[in-house]
Amino acid sequence: MNLIPEEQALVEAARAARVHAYAPYSRYMVGAAVRTTEGQIFTGCNIENASYGLSICAERVAVFCAVAAGARAIEAVAIVTEDGATPCGACRQVLMEFAPDPARCCVILATLDEVVARYTLATLLPQAFGFTGAAPESSV
Ligand SMILES: [Zn+2]
């Protein structure tokens, strides 16, 4: 799958972050990188805990690092795992919170040596929850 240079750089940042994963329990290492609408890249890795429920995914670490640095708008995400997995539901919802245009927010999935899939965030999380102050309209 061909990527433009900005996407390739995002995948490489995610690969580099994966090396720092702390996953002594699952041994499933994940790296993620998000690019803001201002072109900044923030990375994350999964961080597990002996109290399993306290573990956190790489994607959320990357988003939270971006937010902690003052960013609020994410336009692309790259996730690197050994098998090219998709982000979990919790991470999709967290990404949605900071993606001003989910239909254009690119989610790139890669393994250690190749890109395996590419989605938009809107495709991965249709009908996402969002506070609107009103009940959502039904589609039926
Ligand atoms: Zn997750």
The per-residue pLDDT for range 16-58, each reduced to its tens digit, is 999 999 999 999 999 999 999 999 999 999 999 999 999 999 9
Residue 98, domain member (yes or no) = yes
Asked if 118 contacts 1 with a C-beta cutoff of 8 angstroms, the reply is yes
Residue 68, domain member (yes or no) = yes
d(CA 7, CA 123): 18
* Domain extent at residue 32: 5-124
In whole numbers, what is the pLDDT of the chain averaged over residues? 95
Q: Which residues are known catalytic residues?
A: 59
The neighbourhood of ligand 1, an ion, using CB within 5 A, equals 57, 88, 91
The pLDDT, as a whole number, for residue 18 is 98
Asked if 80 contacts 116 with a C-beta cutoff of 8 angstroms, the reply is no
Residue 87, domain member (yes or no) = yes
Å from CA of 46 to ligand 1 middle: 9
Tell which residue, 121, 52, 45, has the closest CA to residue 79. 45
Q: What is the pLDDT of residues 103-116, one digit of tens each?
A: 999 999 999 999 99
Q: 100 — phi, psi (to 5°)?
A: -65, -25
Structural domain count of the chain: 1
d(CA 76, CA 53): 27
